[in-house]
Amino acid sequence: MRRKIYTKEQILKAAYDVVSTEGFAGFTARNIAKRMGISTQPIYLEFKNMEDLKNELLEMIFIELKDEIFPIPRTGDKVVDLGLNYIDFAKNDHNLYLALFVDEEGGGKKMHDFSFSYFSSIIENDPQYANLTNEQIETLHTGTWVVVTGLASLTSSGSINPTQDQIISLIKRTISNIVELKETTK
């Protein structure tokens, strides 16, 4: 009888399913194996350890966010669009959002680094943000991230229910205040 072979992709998919339903608190070899209906052995044959699996899972999620979720055009302003898409991600995939961006066992520093790298890449060729220094880009990233994360958390939990126009207005005011601040500190 031939043994069934489990691929790295199948294990990553099961890990993704576990994290998107249970968060990183449920991210164990036993839970992933249970989801697949297998023992934990194939997991350790494909990955050095759970940290290795987590890093590959985060990379897979980064690609999904970068290619499919965050770049959806909506207003013509890439920073505003990113904020709207981030908030929609939090509402539509609440458990995964919490696992990645809120949960202390989640992505943490890696999510911040990914976010900043992605943010920098979308504005570097945008004429609206062309004259910003690296420090100003960091300030713009931090300021907008704080606002959209607050909106994402509050809307995805049902605490507030702003319209899309209200959200766009808040993000634009945040950008405007940060850009104006840069001009007054020259």
27-50 pLDDT, tens digit each: 999 999 999 999 999 999 999 999
Q: Please tell me the predicted confidence (pLDDT) of residue 183.
A: 56
Q: What is the mean pLDDT of residues 125-129?
A: 87
Q: Please tell me the predicted confidence (pLDDT) of residue 104.
A: 79
Cβ atoms 102, 154 nearer than 8 A:
no
47-64 tens-digit pLDDT: 999 999 999 999 999 999
Closest CA to 142 of 176, 173, 119: 119
Gap between the Cα atoms of 55 and 59, Å rounded: 6
How many C-beta atoms lie closer than 10 Å to residue 147's C-beta? 20
Q: Please tell me the predicted confidence (pLDDT) of residue 69.
A: 96
Whether 185 shows a pLDDT value over 80: the answer reads: no
Q: Please tell me the predicted confidence (pLDDT) of residue 184.
A: 57
What's the N-to-C CA distance of the chain in angstroms? 74
Structure tokens at 118: 């992605």
133-173 tens-digit pLDDT: 889 999 999 999 999 999 999 999 999 999 999 999 999 99
Q: Which residues contact 20 (CB under 8 A, 6 or more apart)?
A: 93, 95, 96, 99
Q: Please tell me the predicted confidence (pLDDT) of residue 103.
A: 84
**In whole numbers, what is the pLDDT of the chain averaged over residues?**
91
Helical residues (DSSP H) of the chain, grouped into ranges: 8-22, 29-36, 41-46, 50-64, 78-92, 94-97, 109-123, 134-156, 164-184
Cβ atoms 106, 100 nearer than 8 A:
yes
Q: Please tell me the predicted confidence (pLDDT) of residue 182.
A: 55
- Torsion of the alpha carbons at 71, 126, 176 and 137, rounded to the nearest 10: 90
Q: Please tell me the predicted confidence (pLDDT) of residue 111.
A: 87
Whether 186 shows a pLDDT value over 70: the answer reads: no
Q: What is the mean pLDDT of residues 61-79?
A: 95
Closest CA to 122 of 81, 167, 61: 81
DSSP three-state, residue 100: helix
